[in-house]
């Protein structure tokens, strides 16, 4: 991947109960290529699922590149822009470590407001959460 071509990552997380069963999803777009990844956890929070989506997406990138992270989460925006974080230090640290390899831009969109890819990521995260509930265990990509 060239640093001249942007890779877009659209992420979302879902949690029922908060804490409770959760799911995450990421849609990675590079030119005409698309990759979708998702997973979940039996006992988690929405913020942990949001950050897990970012981490999984950044891990999926094979080389340094320009990345636009599209999220409806202010929490994710703060985590990727060196905001002060009080919780989930393990995931915040990992997200920042992985992000340091890339040039990152964060675009925050309103959730459930018609952004097509954000809505799709939401549906994928909810589906991953439902798989966790059905399986009674963590769902892996």
Active site residues: 12-13, 50, 72, 112, 122
Report the distance separating Cα 65 and Cα 13, nearest Å: 24
* Residue 136 C-alpha from the chain's centroid: 22
Instruction: State the Cα–Cα distance between residues 25 and 31, nearest whole angstrom.
Output: 20
CA distance 30 to 103: 15
Question: Is 12:128 a contact under the CB 8 Å cutoff?
Answer: no
Q: Assess contact for 60 and 46: CB atoms under 8 A.
A: no
């Amino acid at each position: 991947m060239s640093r001249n071509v942007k890779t877009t990552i659209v992420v979302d997380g879902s949690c029922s109960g908060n804490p409770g069963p959760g799911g995450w999803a990421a849609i990675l777009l590079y030119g005409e290529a698309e990759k979708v990844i998702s997973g979940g956890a039996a006992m988690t929070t929405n913020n942990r699922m949001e950050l897990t989506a970012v981490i999984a997406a950044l891990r999926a990138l094979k080389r340094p590149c320009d990345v636009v992270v599209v999220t409806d989460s202010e929490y994710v925006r703060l985590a990727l822009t060196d905001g002060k974080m009080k919780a989930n230090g393990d995931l915040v640290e990992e997200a920042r470590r992985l992000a340091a390899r890339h040039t990152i831009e964060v675009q925050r969109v309103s959730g459930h407001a018609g952004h097509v890819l954000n809505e799709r990521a939401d549906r994928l995260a909810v589906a991953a959460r439902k798989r966790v509930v059905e399986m009674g265990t963590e769902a892996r990509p």
